[in-house]
Amino acid sequence: MTAEAVVLKCPECGSERVFKDGLRYMASGEIQRFLCRACGYRFSEPSKTLNIFRDNSKNAQVCVLEKAKNLTEALKTKISAGEINQTQQGLIVEFQWKMKKRQLADTTIENRTFLLVNLVKLGANLMNPESVETVLATEEMTTASKFNTVKTYKAFIKAFN
């Protein structure tokens, strides 16, 4: 009886240039980790009990779209209350979508959205860094709040460049 070698392929790019990269320790035992040398994706070996590969199907994309729609509900109420205008809201929604595509946590997206909406309510134009700088300089905020707002605004600007 001859044993056939099982060729492991990267679930991201399909490359066969996969190497062992340590162990993953779970309650059910150890699982071998692998690293794709073509794309750099790190994954675990296939398991019958664990669903460890990312779901790139259309169902996952629909799920992401539904979550993005839920995140915009809070913004819609702020628009109807006249707190922010349509252009700023469109930018914030697009930024939410970009963060969701990068698979950031929902709490991160919600916190960043809150900080951007707060900037707009204080009178900042998100597409004008000088107006954001003016708002940050004139408003009374704690150092931590300013730090988080600046960090969020940097991520916002980076997403659109």
> So what's the pLDDT on residue 113?
92
Q: Does the structure show a pLDDT above 70 at 76?
A: no
pTM over 0.85: no
> So what's the pLDDT on residue 1?
47
Using the structure block, give the residue that is written with the tokens 């990312």: 54
Band of the pLDDT at 111, cuts 50, 70, 90?
very high
> So what's the pLDDT on residue 84?
53
49 or 71: which leads in pLDDT: 71
Q: What is the pLDDT of residues 120-147, one digit of tens each?
A: 889 888 888 888 889 988 999 899 999 9
> So what's the pLDDT on residue 112?
92
- Roughly how many angstroms between the first and final C-alpha of the chain, as a whole number? 59
Instruction: Please give the mean pLDDT across all residues of the chain.
Output: 77
Three-class SS string for 29-65? Answer: EEEEEEEECCCCCEEECCCCCCCCCCCCCHHHHHHHH
> So what's the pLDDT on residue 26?
79
> So what's the pLDDT on residue 50?
42
Cβ-proximal residues to 29 (8 Å cutoff; 6+ apart), any chain: none
**Mean pLDDT value of segment 12-19:** 87
